[in-house]
C-alpha cells in the first residue's frame, strides 16, 4: 500500500469509527532526485562551536543559563567546548567534502559579532572567523546557507528583556546589517531566525530552554511578535541595502509537524486546523499571508475574556506593521521531524492563561510509530509529503528548502534506525517533488555531527557523524548513516539502483 492509499484508508477507517491505523508502510521510491537538487547538512553555532569566551565572544543566554545552574541540562553539561568546531573548522569542511554535500547550513553566533548586542561592542575577530569560514566553503564547492539567529542571544540583551522587548528587533537589524555587509559577497542564502515557535514556547513559555522564562499565557506571544519583527527588519535591510548588489535570498526557518485528524469528524478536522494555525500559522501567516491567523485572534480573545481580562493576551498588529511583515520571504525554510494525530476537546475551563489551552486541542502519535531516543520524535515518513503539500498550498512560497530533518539515537555507529528514518522521509519528499509538483530546492539533514542538544545536553545524538565528547580531540567518525548519505548524495537515488 502506498502512502496516499494509506492515508485514504486512515480517513475511511475514521469514518467507520475506528481510530487512525498507526501501521504505515513506505515504499521507497526508485526514482532519481533532480540533478539540480542541493544535498546538505545542518548545524548551529551554539551547538557545535564551543570556544564560548574566545577571541572576544560575549556570553550568550545559553552560556549564562547553564553556567548559572548546570542542572538545567539533563547531563549537567554545557556548550563551553561542544564539538570544538571553532577550532576544528577546516577539518569539518573536509568532512563535508568527503560526504559530498553541496550545501551547508550553519549559524552565526551573534555574541561573536556584537558581544553585548550593541554596535559599540563590534568584534572584528568574530567577523573574520566567519568570512574565512565561508571562503573556505566556497573553495570546496559548498554553498553556505546561513542562519543569523539560532538561539544564542547576547546575554546583555536578555538583561533588557530579550525577546520580550521590541527593541531587540532593532538590535537584530543592526547585527544583520553587519553580517550582510561582510559576508554578503559570499553568502546568497540567508535565514533570519530559526524556529521562533520553539524559542517562544520553551524559552518564554514553559521555561525549559534559555532564558528559562515561564510566561506561557502572554510573554510567549510577545516573544513571537518581536521575533517576527526582527525577521521582517532583517529582510527589509537586505532588500533595501544589499539585494541589488549581492543578489541573495532571505527567509526564516519555521518548524512544523504534519497534523492529521483522529477521525473524519468535522470537530477533529477543525481541531487539526487549529493545531496548524497555533504552531505553524502563528509565524507563517503574518509573513506569507498577513496578520495572525484569524482563529488565533478569535480564540485568544475569547479565552482572555473568559479569564476576565480587559483585552486579548495576543498583541495586535497595527495596519502598518501588517504591511511591513507581509511578504518578507524569498523562499520557505522548513524544519520537519514528526507528526501528530489531533482530536477536538471540550473548551477547557478558564484558569491560568496558557497557550495550550488557547490552542484547545489534544494531540497524540500513532500506536506503532517508531520512537527515537527523543520522547517527542516519532517516525511518520508520509508526514514529509503531507506537510510539504500543506505548506505549498497554504503559503505559496515559490520555493522550499527543508532546513532540518533528522533522528535522535544513542551514540552507536550502527544507526540503522536513522537510515530507515531518512530513507522514508526522503522518499516522501521526492514524491512531493515529482508527483505533487512541490518545488523543494534543497535539504540539509540535522545533523552533520552529534552536538550539544540544548537542555538535553549530550544525551541525544542527531549526527550522521559521531563525535567522541570524551576525547580532547572531539574525534569525528562516520556512522553507517553518513556512509548511506554519502552514497545517496552522489547517486541522487535512495535505493541500490534507480530507474534511469
Site for ligand GBH in 251-270 (CB under 6 A): 255
Active site (catalytic) residues? 195, 404
The CB-of-41 to ligand GBH minimum distance in angstroms stands at 13
Choices 159-167, 169-177, 190-198, 320-328; region in contact with ligand GBH by CB under 6 A: 190-198
Count of residues interacting with ligand GBH (CB under 6 A): 14
ω into 96 cis (within 30 of 0):
no
Contact of 192 with 329, CB cutoff 8 Å: no
Q: Rounded to whole angstroms, what are the CA distances from 364 to 262, 348, 370, 384? A: 9, 18, 13, 17
Q: Single out the residue of 33, 129, 180, 446 in contact with ligand GBH (rule: CB under 6 A).
A: 446
Burial of 207 (0-12, 13-18, 19+ CB in 10 A): middle
Instruction: Say whether residue 44 binds ligand GBH (CB under 6 A).
Output: yes
Contact of 168 with 160, CB cutoff 8 Å: yes
CA-wise closest residue to 99 among 472, 475, 444: 444
Give the C-alpha separation, 498 to 487, whole Å. Answer: 12
Give the C-alpha separation, 149 to 167, whole Å. Answer: 16
Q: Which is nearer to ligand GBH, 33 or 282 (CB)?
A: 282
Q: Which is nearer to ligand GBH, 316 or 376 (CB)?
A: 376
Site for ligand GBH in 470-499 (CB under 6 A): none
The CB-of-150 to ligand GBH minimum distance in angstroms stands at 6
Residue keyed to cell 535512495: 494
Q: Single out the residue of 90, 132, 376, 414 in contact with ligand GBH (rule: CB under 6 A).
A: 376
Contact of 189 with 145, CB cutoff 8 Å: yes
Instruction: Say whether residue 49 binds ligand GBH (CB under 6 A).
Output: no
**C-alpha cell, 459:** 544525551
Per-residue contact string for residues 70-99; x = within reach of ligand GBH by CB under 6 A: ------------------------------
The CB-of-473 to ligand GBH minimum distance in angstroms stands at 23
b/e sequence 233-264, b meaning 16+ C-beta within 10 Å:
bbbbbbeeebbeebebbbbbbbbbbbbbbbbb
Of all residues in this chain, which one has the CB nearest to ligand GBH in the complex? 376
Site for ligand GBH in 287-326 (CB under 6 A): none
Instruction: Say whether residue 453 binds ligand GBH (CB under 6 A).
Output: yes
Instruction: Say whether residue 404 binds ligand GBH (CB under 6 A).
Output: yes
Q: Which is nearer to ligand GBH, 184 or 411 (CB)?
A: 411
Give the C-alpha separation, 229 to 245, whole Å. Answer: 24
Choices 50-58, 83-91, 160-168, 194-202; region in contact with ligand GBH by CB under 6 A: 194-202
Instruction: Say whether residue 403 binds ligand GBH (CB under 6 A).
Output: no
Distant-in-sequence, close-in-space partners of 92: CB < 8 Å, separation ≥ 6: 85, 448, 449, 476
- Positions in the binding site for ligand GBH (CB under 6 A): 44, 194-195, 198, 202, 255, 335, 337, 375-376, 404, 446, 453, 462
Amino acid at each position: 500500500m502506498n502512502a496516499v492509499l494509506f492515508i485514504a484508508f486512515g480517513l475511511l477507517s475514521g469514518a467507520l469509527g475506528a481510530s487512525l491505523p498507526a501501521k504505515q508502510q513506505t515504499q521507497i521510491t526508485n526514482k532519481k532526485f533532480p540533478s539540480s537538487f542541493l544535498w546538505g547538512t545542518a548545524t548551529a553555532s551554539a551547538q557545535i562551536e564551543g570556544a564560548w569566551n574566545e577571541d572576544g565572544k560575549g556570553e550568550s543566554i545559553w552560556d549564562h543559563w547553564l553556567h548559572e545552574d548546570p542542572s538545567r541540562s539533563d547531563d549537567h553539561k554545557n556548550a563551553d567546548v561542544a564539538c570544538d568546531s571553532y577550532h576544528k573548522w577546516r577539518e569539518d569542511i573536509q568532512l563535508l567534502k568527503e560526504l559530498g554535500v553541496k550545501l551547508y547550513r550553519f549559524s552565526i553566533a551573534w555574541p561573536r559579532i556584537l558581544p553585548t548586542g550593541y554596535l559599540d561592542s563590534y568584534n572584528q575577530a568574530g567577523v573574520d572567523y566567519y568570512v574565512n569560514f565561508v571562503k573556505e566553503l566556497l573553495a570546496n564547492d559548498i554553498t553556505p546557507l546561513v542562519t543569523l539567529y539560532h538561539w544564542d542571544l547576547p546575554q546583555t540583551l536578555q538583561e533588557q528583556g530579550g525577546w520580550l522587548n521590541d527593541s531587540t528587533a532593532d538590535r537584530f537589524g543592526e547585527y544583520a546589517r553587519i553580517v550582510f555587509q561582510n559576508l554578503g559577497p559570499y553568502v546568497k542564502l540567508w535565514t533570519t531566525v530559526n524556529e521562533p515557535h520553539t524559542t517562544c514556547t520553551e524559552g518564554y513559555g514553559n521555561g525549559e530552554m534559555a532564558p528559562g522564562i515561564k510566561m506561557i499565557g502572554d510573554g510567549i506571544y510577545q516573544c513571537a511578535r518581536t521575533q517576527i519583527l526582527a525577521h521582517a527588519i532583517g529582510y527589509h535591510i537586505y532588500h533595501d541595502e544589499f539585494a541589488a548588489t549581492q543578489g541573495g535570498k532571505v527567509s526564516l526557518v519555521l518548524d512544523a509537524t504534519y497534523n492529521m485528524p483522529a477521525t473524519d469528524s468535522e470537530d477533529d478536522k477543525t481541531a487539526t486546523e487549529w493545531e496548524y494555525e497555533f504552531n505553524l500559522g502563528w509565524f507563517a501567516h503574518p509573513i506569507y499571508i498577513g496578520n495572525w491567523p484569524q482563529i488565533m485572534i478569535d480564540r485568544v480573545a475569547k479565552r482572555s475574556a473568559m479569564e476576565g481580562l480587559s483585552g486579548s493576551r495576543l498583541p495586535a498588529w497595527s495596519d502598518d506593521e501588517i504591511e511591513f511583515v507581509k511578504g518578507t520571504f524569498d523562499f520557505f525554510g522548513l524544519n520537519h521531524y514528526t507528526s501528530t494525530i489531533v482530536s477536538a476537546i471540550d473548551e477547557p475551563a478558564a484558569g491560568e492563561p496558557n497557550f495550550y489551552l488557547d490552542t484547545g486541542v489534544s494531540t497524540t502519535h500513532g500506536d506503532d510509530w517508531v520512537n527515537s531516543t527523543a520522547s517527542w520524535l516519532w517516525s511518520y515518513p508520509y508526514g514529509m509529503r503531507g506537510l510539504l503539500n500543506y505548506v505549498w498550498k497554504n503559503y505559496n512560497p515559490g520555493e522550499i528548502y527543508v532546513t532540518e530533518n533528522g533522528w535522535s539515537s544513542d551514540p552507536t555507529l550502527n544507526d540503522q534506525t536513522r537510515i530507515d528514518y531518512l530513507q522514508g522521509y526522503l522518499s516522501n519528499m521526492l514524491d512531493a517533488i515529482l508527483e505533487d509538483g512541490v518545488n523543494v530546492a534543497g535539504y540539509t539533514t540535522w545533523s552533520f555531527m552529534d552536538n550539544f542538544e540544548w537542555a538535553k545536553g549530550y544525551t541525544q545524538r542527531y549526527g550522521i557523524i559521531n563525535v567522541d565528547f570524551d576525547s580532547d580531540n572531539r574525534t569525528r567518525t562516520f556512522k553507517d548513516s553518513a556512509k548511506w548519505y554519502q552514497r545517496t548524495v552522489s547517486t541522487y537515488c535512495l535505493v541500490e539502483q534507480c530507474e534511469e
